[in-house]
Amino acid sequence: MNKTLLGALALLCSFTAAAQTPRDSIAFAAAEWRTTDLGDGAECRYAQIDMFGSCQSISVATYPGRSFTTAIVHLDRKAEATSALGKAAGAEIAVNGSYFNVKTFAPVTFVLLDKKVVGRTTPEELMRTNGIVAFKDKKGRKMDIFPCDTTQYPDVARRYRSALAAGPVLIDNGKTVEYTSGDSFYTRRHPRTLIGKRADGTVVMAVIDGRFKGQGDGATIAETAYIARQLGLTEALNLDGGGSSTLWTAKEGVLNHPYDNRRFDHEGERGVPNCIVVRK
C-alpha cells in the first residue's frame, strides 16, 4: 500500500472518529450532572455521558473570571501532583498545565511568568502547540485565549504578565477549529484537558477521562472541541492530556480519574511542572 493511500486512510479515520451527531448534543444536554457549589459563583460537576458511540467521563469546574485570581504555577525542573500544587498555592481550583519533558520535567512550550520567559516551544511541539492562555494583570482577572505561533511570543511577552502556550486551539472566536492531521494525537481517543471562556467571562476548566474502556473512553481532538462547544465556550485551548490530565478542587479533591495508576479512581495523578490555579 503506497504512502498516499495510507495518508488518505488516516485522514478518513480522523473524520470518522470525529463524526458527531445531534444525538450527542442531546445526550450532553440531558446528562445527569453531579454538581457541587464552590462558593462565590464557582461550581464543579461530573457526569458520564454516552457520546460518539463511547462513554465520556467529564469533569468540569466553572467560575466568574473577574471574581477570582487565576495564575500559572511553575516549578523549575521539578514535578508535583496538580492537587499538591493547588494546595500549596492556597487555590480553590487547579488544573494541569502544558506539555513537558517527562524525564527532565522541563517545559517544552513557551512559559512566561511575571514577565520572565522560563520555557520555550521546541520544534517537536509545533505540530500541536498553536495557542496560548495569557494574563495581563497581576491578579489574573484578565485572561485571554487565542491562536499564537512562535513568531508572536515576543509580542506576548511585551503585552502580558504571564502566559502558557499549549494546543491545539479548539474554539476561536466562537468557531470550532478543524484539523485534518492524521497524527494519532489528533485522531485517537486520549484523556484530554482544556481551558476556555464563555462570552459572559465565565472561565471553564474541563478534563475528559480516557483509556478506561466503558467507563471513560477518551476523546479525539475533534470530539474534545465538540464538548467544548457544548460547554458554551467561545474560546478554548487544549492543554496537556494523557496521564497529566487532572482537575482538582479544595472542596472535592481530584474530580476526574487520572490515568497514571491505570485504575478508575482519583489516585493516579502524574507529577507535572506547571498548572493553572484559581484563588478567591
Provide the pLDDT for residue 19. 64
* 203 within 8 A of 221, measured Cβ to Cβ: no
Percent of the chain with pLDDT over 90: 90
Provide the pLDDT for residue 71. 97
- 148-204 pLDDT, tens digit per residue, is 999 999 999 999 999 999 999 999 999 999 999 999 999 999 999 999 999 999 999
Q: Is pLDDT of 8 > 50?
A: no
- Among 246, 263, 233, which Cα is nearest to 28's? 233
Q: Is pLDDT of 261 > 60?
A: yes
Q: What is the mean pLDDT of residues 76-85?
A: 97
What's the chain's average pLDDT?
A: 93
Q: How confident is the model at residue 76 (pLDDT cuts 50, 70, 90)?
A: very high
Q: Which three-class secondary structure string do you get for the chain?
A: CCHHHHHHHHHHHHHHHCCCCHHHHHHHHCCCCEEEEEECCEEEEEEEEEECCEEEEEEEEEEEHHHCEEEEEECCCCCECHHHHHHHCCCCEEEECCCECCCCCCECCCEEECCEEEECCCHHHHHCCCEEEEECCCCCCCEEEEECCHHHHHHHHHHCCEEEEECCEEEECCEECCCCCCCHHHHCCECEEEEEECCCCEEEEEEECCCECCCECCECHHHHHHHHHHCCCCEEEECCCHHHCCEEECCCEECCCCCCCCCCCCCCCCCECEEEEEEC
Can you give the pTM of this predicted structure?
Answer: 0.92
In sequence order, the 6+-apart residues with CB closer than 8 A to the CB of 118 are: 74, 76, 107, 111, 112
**Domain ranges, ordered by start, for the chain:** 3-279
Q: How confident is the model at residue 112 (pLDDT cuts 50, 70, 90)?
A: very high
Q: Is pLDDT of 15 > 90?
A: no
Q: How confident is the model at residue 138 (pLDDT cuts 50, 70, 90)?
A: confident
* 209 within 8 A of 265, measured Cβ to Cβ: no
Cα atoms in the Cβ-side hemisphere of radius 13 Å centred on 4: 0
Task: Specify the amino acid at residue 140.
Answer: G
Query: Using CA atoms, how far apart are residues 235 and 133, in angstroms rounded to an integer?
Result: 10
